[in-house]
Structure 1
Amino acid sequence: MSRIHCSRCLRPEGHCLCPLIPSLDSHTRVLLLQHPSEVSHALNTARLAALGLRNAELRVGEVFDDLPSLLNQPGYQARLLFPGDEAQPLAAYAGRANDLPLLLVVPDGTWRKARKLLHVNPALAALPRVTLAEASPSRYRLRKAPGPGALSTLEAVVQALEVLEAPASFEALLRPFDALIEGQIAAMGQETYERNHLR
C-alpha cells in the first residue's frame, strides 16, 4: 500500500515539512525552472524555496513555451543564476536603490540537466548571467559536491537573496532542508552515515 503524501510539500504524511516552511517576502522575484527528473527527488529543494517565498514561482518542464512571458514580468529585470564567463557577481546588483529589482531565474537539476534546460530554451541561455562570487559551503551532507561552491538549489537561492537584500535574512528557508537531512541521517543510522559520508 502506498503511503499518503502531503499535497503541499509532497513528503510522506508522517514526515510533512509544512510546519517548518516559512512565508517570507522579498523584493527579488524568484522563478525556479525545475527539470522533471527532480520532482520525485527526496529533497526537492526548489519546491521548498517556492513554498517558503511569497514572491516565487516554480515551473516544471524541459521546454517552456511561455518563457517570454515568464521572463518579461513588469517591474523586474531578468537575470539567470548560472555560472559562465560573462556572469556578473550578484553583489554588483546589491543596494542599487534606483534599479528595478531582479527576476532571478534559477534552473533546478543536476549540472547536466540544468545545461540541457538552457540548451533547449534559447531565451533562457540568452539571459545575462549572475553568480555567487563566494558561496558558503553546502550544508547538504549526504551528497558529494561535484566541485567547490556547488550548492543545492535552495541554498543558492538563500545565498543569492542574502547578497541582494542584505541585511535581510533568509536563513529560515533552510529549516525544512536541515530537518530533511537530519531525518535521512537518522533513518540510515549514525554508523552508516559516518562510514559512507564522513570519509
Structure 2
Amino acid sequence: MSRPQCSRCLRPVSHCLCALIPSLDSRTRVLLLQHPSEVNHALNTARLAALGLSNAQLVVGEVFEDLATLLNVPGYQARLLFPADDAQTLKAYSPSDQPLLLVVPDGTWRKARKMLHLNPLLAALPRVTLAEGGVSRYRLRKAPGPGALSTVEAIAQALQVLEAPVSFEPLLKPFEALIEGQIAAMGDEVFQKNHG
C-alpha cells in the first residue's frame, strides 16, 4: 500500500518538503529536461529546482518533439549545461549580456548522453560548464568523478556564478533536508558503513 503523497513535491505527505522550497526569481531561465526514469526517484532534485525557481520549466521525456519551441524563448540565448571539450566556463553576466536559457538534462550521465544523442537539436547547442572544484553535498552516492553535482546543486552553482552577488543558496535547503531525512531513515551505522 502506498503512502499519501504531496501533489507538489511528490514526497510522502509525512516527509513533504514544500515548506522549505523557496520561490526565487532569476534573470536566467532554466529548462530542465528530465529523463522519465528520474520522475519517481526518491531524490528527485530536478523537481526541487523547478519548484524553487519562478523562471524554470521542467519537461519530462527522452525525445522532445517540441524542443525547437522550448528553446526559442525571445530575449534568451540557449546554452546546454553539460561538459564538453569546447564548453565555455560560466561567468557573471555583464549589464549588457542577454540572459541565458540554461538547458539542463536530468538523469544519470549515461541517460543524459542518450538524450543528447536522441535530440540532435539539443546536442547542437553551445555548451557551458561550471568551474572545476565544485563539491557535492550529496553524501548518499558516490560521485562518478570530481566535481560531479546533483541537478539542483549544478543549477544553484550556475545561477550563483551568472547572477552574482545574488544568492541561490535557499534552493539547496530542501535538498539538504532530503539528504538528512534519508540518512536518518537508514540510521547512522548503515550510513557510516556505506557512505562514511
- Same-fold call, TM cutoff 0.5: yes
Whether the aligned pair in 1 keeps the contact of 2:93 and 2:99 (CA below 8 Å) is no
Which residue in 2 is equivalent to 1:29?
29
Deviation at 1:48, TM superposition (A): 0.2
Between the aligned partners of 2:133 and 2:122, the Cα distance in structure 1 is 23
Report SS of the residue matched to 1:192: helix
Whether the aligned pair in 1 keeps the contact of 2:87 and 2:128 (CA below 8 Å) is yes
Which residue in 2 is equivalent to 1:17?
17
Between the aligned partners of 2:169 and 2:63, the Cα distance in structure 1 is 32
Which residue in 2 is equivalent to 1:77?
77
Q: How many residues were matched structurally? A: 196
1:121-136 map, 5 Å = 121-136=119-134
- How big is the alpha-carbon RMSD for the aligned residues of Structure 1 and Structure 2? 0.7
What do the CA deviations read for 1:69-128 (whole angstroms, capped 9, x no partner)?
Answer: 11010010000000001100001xx23211210000000000000000100000000000
Which residue in 2 is equivalent to 1:186?
184
Identity of aligned residues (%): 78
Report SS of the residue matched to 1:80: strand
Task: Give the TM-score taking structure 2 as reference length.
Answer: 0.99
Which residue in 2 is equivalent to 1:145?
143
Structure 1 spans left out of the alignment, 5+ residues: none
1:42-53 map, 5 Å = 42-53=42-53
What do the CA deviations read for 1:139-189 (whole angstroms, capped 9, x no partner)?
Answer: 000000000010000000000000000000000011110001100111111
Between the aligned partners of 1:63 and 1:37, the Cα distance in structure 2 is 13
Counterpart among 114, 117, 133 of residue 115 in structure 2 = 117
Which residue in 1 is equivalent to 2:94?
96
Task: Give the TM-score taking structure 1 as reference length.
Answer: 0.97
What do the CA deviations read for 1:29-75 (whole angstroms, capped 9, x no partner)?
Answer: 00000000101111100000000000000000000000001101001
Which residue in 2 is equivalent to 1:58?
58
Report SS of the residue matched to 1:79: strand
Between the aligned partners of 1:169 and 1:14, the Cα distance in structure 2 is 29
Structure 2 spans left out of the alignment, 5+ residues: none
1:161 aligns with 2:153: no
Between the aligned partners of 2:81 and 2:34, the Cα distance in structure 1 is 13
Between the aligned partners of 2:94 and 2:165, the Cα distance in structure 1 is 14
Between the aligned partners of 1:2 and 1:138, the Cα distance in structure 2 is 31
